[in-house]
């Protein structure tokens, strides 16, 4: 895979989590040779079995910014990446981890992480694109994802934190704008995200995608309720499962589509979160220097 040069323009797909980021990164994998031939460099991690993902971007989560910025600069300045071409970079962990949702915190280290990233990249940030998702869907999906390989308390115990989250999408968008200082910042609601190629065209306006292909199949597919129920029974018995083992449980129950209520807000909670999401989208739409798809 071609690489990165610090004084080249960079186009950053900053996730977020549970918005189809793995699928978008698989799209970059499927098309990196074509993008390479068109003069582009692609950078993305190897999560979820992406065979060509090589990006290992380490950003701070509670420790000092300077060492993290130096490490990120070393990653983005590797000799193997220095060919001076514009870069398409996709990394969902730029805002931080979903774990903090369980504590009522919405990406609490996003400021530190964006500060480290901005310090690590000496060239222009041409565009930052962030896909946002309705809060009820986001929190349910985040809880389910963590339940794949961790013992979890009942969803009702977590819902109070979700309902009283300390901040949301507008604050994240604003700090990205202020700290990363991109030439352009675009927010795309998950419900109008479209295909991966649609997203790539939004990220890199004017890019010809005629020769590019959409990846086939699903990436990072969510586990069914039956699979998560079965996994939680084993975790609560004190079992420790390897990645291979818990993924086998997910495959075993993949056909059991019936909902058991493993992680679901009540109707009043959904209505409240939906109203907050709608209000927050309107707030983002009013922001200066932010494009709203």
| 238-259 confidence digits (pLDDT tens) | 999 999 999 999 999 999 999 9
pLDDT average, residue stretch 130-159: 96
Q: Assess contact for 80 and 41: CB atoms under 8 A.
A: no
Q: Which two tokens stand for residue 162?
A: 């979700």
Angle, helices 135-147/267-285, rounded to nearest 10 degrees: 120
pLDDT of 78 > 80? The answer is: no
H/E stretch holding 208 = none
Q: Of the ranges 49-63, 78-92, 248-262, which one carries the lowest mean pLDDT score?
A: 78-92
Lowest pLDDT segment from 14-18, 63-67, 160-164: 63-67
Reported as a single tens digit per residue, the pLDDT across 18-49 is 999 999 999 999 999 999 999 899 999 998 88
Residue 243 burial (C-beta neighbours within 10 Å; 0-12, 13-18, 19+):
exposed
H helix intervals, 83-134: 110-120
What phi and psi values does residue 19 have, to the nearest 5 degrees? -125, 25
What whole-number distance in Å separates Cα of residue 172 and Cα of residue 229? Answer: 33
152: alpha, beta or left? (left if phi > 0; alpha if psi -120 to 50)? beta
Q: What pLDDT, on a 0 to 100 scale, did the predictor assign at position 81?
A: 54
The predicted pLDDT at position 49 comes to 86
**Region of residue 153 (left: phi > 0; alpha: psi -120 to 50; beta: else):** beta
Question: What is the pTM assigned to this prediction?
Answer: 0.93
Residue 172: pLDDT above 70? yes
In this predicted structure, which of 70-74, 172-176, 177-181, 238-242 has the lowest mean pLDDT? 70-74
Q: What percentage of the chain has pLDDT greater than the value 70? A: 95
What confidence category does residue 182 fall into, taking pLDDT thresholds of 50, 70 and 90? very high
Measure the CA–CA gap between 4 and 10, rounded to whole angstroms.
Answer: 9
| Residue in this structure with the two tokens 């990446």, named with its chain if needed | 81
Lowest mean pLDDT among 49-63, 87-101, 188-202, 249-263: 49-63
Please state the domain extents for the chain. 10-136+167-217+277-292
Which of helix, strand or coil describes residue 137? helix
On average, the pLDDT of the chain sits at 92
Higher-pLDDT residue of 122 and 88 is 88
Separation between Cα atoms, residue 256 and residue 127, nearest integer Å: 41
What pLDDT, in 10s, does the model give residues 106-118? 999 999 999 999 9
% of the chain surpassing 90 pLDDT: 77
pLDDT at 122: 82
pLDDT of residue 100: 96
Rounded-to-integer distance, Cα 18 and Cα 10, Å: 23
pLDDT tens digit string along 257-275?
A: 999 999 999 999 999 999 9
Q: How far is residue 226's CA from residue 249's CA, in Å, rounded to a whole number?
A: 10
Cβ density class 126-143: b for 16+ within 10 Å, e for less: bbbbbbbbbbbbbbbbbb
> What is the predicted pLDDT for the residue at 7?
65
What spatial distance separates the first Cα and last Cα of the chain, rounded to whole Å? 30
Tell me: pLDDT of 82 over 60. no
Average pLDDT over residues 203-213: 92
Look up the CATH architecture of domain 10-136+167-217+277-292.
3-Layer(aba) Sandwich (3.40)
Query: Contact 95/15 with Cβ under 8 angstroms?
Result: yes
């Amino acid at each position: 895979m071609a690489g990165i040069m610090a004084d080249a323009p960079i186009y950053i797909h900053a996730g977020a989590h549970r918005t189809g980021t793995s699928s978008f990164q698989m799209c970059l994998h499927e098309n990196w040779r074509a993008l390479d031939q068109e003069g582009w460099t692609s950078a993305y991690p190897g999560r979820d079995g992406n065979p060509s993902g090589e990006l290992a971007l380490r950003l701070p989560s509670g420790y000092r910014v300077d060492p993290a910025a130096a490490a990120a600069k070393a990653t983005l300045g590797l000799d193997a990446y220095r060919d001076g071409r514009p870069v398409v970079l996709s990394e969902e962990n730029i805002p931080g981890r979903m774990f903090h949702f369980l504590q009522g915190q919405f990406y609490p280290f996003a400021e530190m992480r964006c500060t480290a990233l901005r310090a690590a990249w000496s060239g222009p940030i041409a565009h930052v694109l962030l896909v946002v998702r309705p809060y009820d869907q986001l929190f349910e999906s985040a809880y389910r994802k963590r339940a794949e390989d961790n013992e979890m308390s009942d969803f009702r115990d977590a819902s109070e934190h979700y309902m009283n989250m300390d901040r949301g999408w507008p604050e994240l968008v604003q700090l990205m704008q202020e700290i990363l200082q991109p030439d352009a910042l675009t927010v795309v609601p998950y419900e109008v995200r479209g295909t991966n190629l649609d997203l790539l065209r939004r990220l890199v306006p004017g890019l010809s995608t005629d020769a590019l292909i959409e990846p086939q199949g699903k990436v990072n597919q969510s586990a069914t309720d039956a699979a998560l129920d079965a996994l939680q029974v084993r975790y609560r018995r004190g079992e420790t499962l390897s990645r291979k083992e818990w993924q086998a449980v997910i495959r075993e129950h993949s056909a059991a589509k019936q909902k058991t209520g493993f992680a679901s807000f009540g109707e009043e909670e959904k209505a409240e979160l939906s109203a907050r999401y709608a209000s927050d989208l309107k707030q983002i739409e009013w922001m200066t220097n932010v494009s709203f798809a």
